[in-house]
Amino acid sequence: MKHLKQNIIIVFLLCASLVMAQQTPAPKQSQSIAIMGATAHIGNGEIIENSLIIFKEGKLTTVADARVVRIDVSNMRVINANDKHVYPGFIIPNSTLGLVEIDAVRASDDDDEIGSLNPHIRSLIAYNAESKVVESMRPNGVLIGQITPRGGRISGTSSVVQFDAWNWEDAAIKVDDGIHLNWPNSFSRGRWWRGEDPGLKPNKNYSKQVKEVTVFLKESKAYQSGDKSAKHLPFEAVQGLFDGSKKLFVHVDDAKGITDAINFKVQNDISEMVVVGGYQALQVADLLKKHNIPVLIKRVHSTPDNTDDDYDQPFKLAKQLTDVGVLVALQNSGDMERMNARNLPFLAGTAAAYGLSKEEALQLITLNAAKILGIDKDYGSLEVGKSATLFISEGDALDMRTNVLDKAFIDGRDISLESHQTELWKRYSNKYKNQ
């Protein structure tokens, strides 16, 4: 009887694992593929109305006007995409995808570590490639993401991954691309539950908090030039900020904080910096442009931060910064950020509705994002020699009504567009069709 119960439990667990398993990652591309007739949105602002796109062994070999070039495709797998659209895979920066599965289940939450200065904490090794949330990105064309830790003053080190993999090693595109610093707030609100004045007031500890990070970097430089027999992981981790192998992603919204962060970069000889959030970036746009600092702007679908701001300020910020020459891309941090990351193309669609052209808005989630993350050599646009990471949509991919994917490829691999959500949709659609 005891063995029977054990066998029943084992069978139940096996069945549950089959039900809960993610889609099996696609195998490597084995045959050249030609996509013919689609409108190709290159990702760099260009469009080819009647395109011929060919890729082999995961790389784009032809991206051209089908009316101009003549190539024999008889020995290839041909996809007829007339009246459809081809886009580069969309890229979501500053995301905790794969680090948290269910907020209420502590064992599935791995986006934050104990401590304040944690540059050595690597998000990549905690990334869950079998996350059901991650697989739900693909049906909307979101195929690549920067997996970013949270918490503390220095949260840790992010990495860039693709969203169809067996494990984090397979997923990695760019390992340890940047360190994330949460810049101190120059103002603070009183904690009413501790008897403090709930109003907004200057942060008395602002200078002290900035100094803490400055001292940490100076100590790491001293460590690098001194005796390293006793290994210090946090000091080791930040060395990439000085030699250019890592970027410093500074999470800051206010104009004073952005200005101070730029001065901090210059004073500490940090090679490359990116502003994340940047709600008031327009006020210091000249300074950002002077120091060649891009901005991953605050979620477009949000309300204004201040009562005297324009109601549509979050919608038009991308246009305003682009017009003054600042490199801009979109990110989606905030409430429900992992589940809402699938709406990334529609954030770009809103930016297009508030001033940018459709192709400029597309760049916010393709080539601009790739440049900021340092992966533009291989990703972000449909250009010969780059990765065949792309998808075919029945209509405009920035419009939620017409973003309907037929096919998607990551590094030339024909990936599944099924997810837990699509399976449920089909299941209940069939139920009501039969009634």
Question: For the chain (length 435 residues), average pLDDT per consecutive 10?
Answer: 52 45 84 97 96 97 94 94 97 96 85 93 95 94 97 96 96 97 87 75 90 94 85 93 96 96 96 97 97 96 92 96 97 91 96 97 98 98 98 97 96 93 85 75
* Confidence at residue 189, expressed as pLDDT on a 0 to 100 scale: 75
Q: Which residues contact 390 (CB under 8 A, 6 or more apart)?
A: 53, 86, 87, 88, 89, 382, 408, 409
| 418 backbone dihedrals φ, ψ, rounded to 5° | -85, 150
* Confidence at residue 142, expressed as pLDDT on a 0 to 100 scale: 97
Give the pairing of strands 405-410 and 390-393.
antiparallel
Closest listed residue to residue 95, CA positions, set 161, 146, 35, 34: 146
* Confidence at residue 263, expressed as pLDDT on a 0 to 100 scale: 96
* Confidence at residue 190, expressed as pLDDT on a 0 to 100 scale: 74
State how far the Cα of 31 lies from the Cα of 5, in Å rounded to an integer.
49
| Superfamily of domain 107-379 in the CATH hierarchy | Metal-dependent hydrolases (3.20.20.140)
Q: How far is CA 47 from the centre of its chain?
A: 24
Give the pairing of strands 247-252 and 187-189.
unpaired
State how far the Cα of 430 lies from the Cα of 435, in Å rounded to an integer.
9
* Confidence at residue 431, expressed as pLDDT on a 0 to 100 scale: 80
Can you point out the beta strands (E) in 211-332? 247-252, 273-277, 295-297, 328-330
Question: Alpha carbon of 175 to those of 90, 211, 238, 415: distances in Å?
Answer: 19, 29, 14, 22
* Confidence at residue 193, expressed as pLDDT on a 0 to 100 scale: 77
| Amino acid letter for position 269 | D
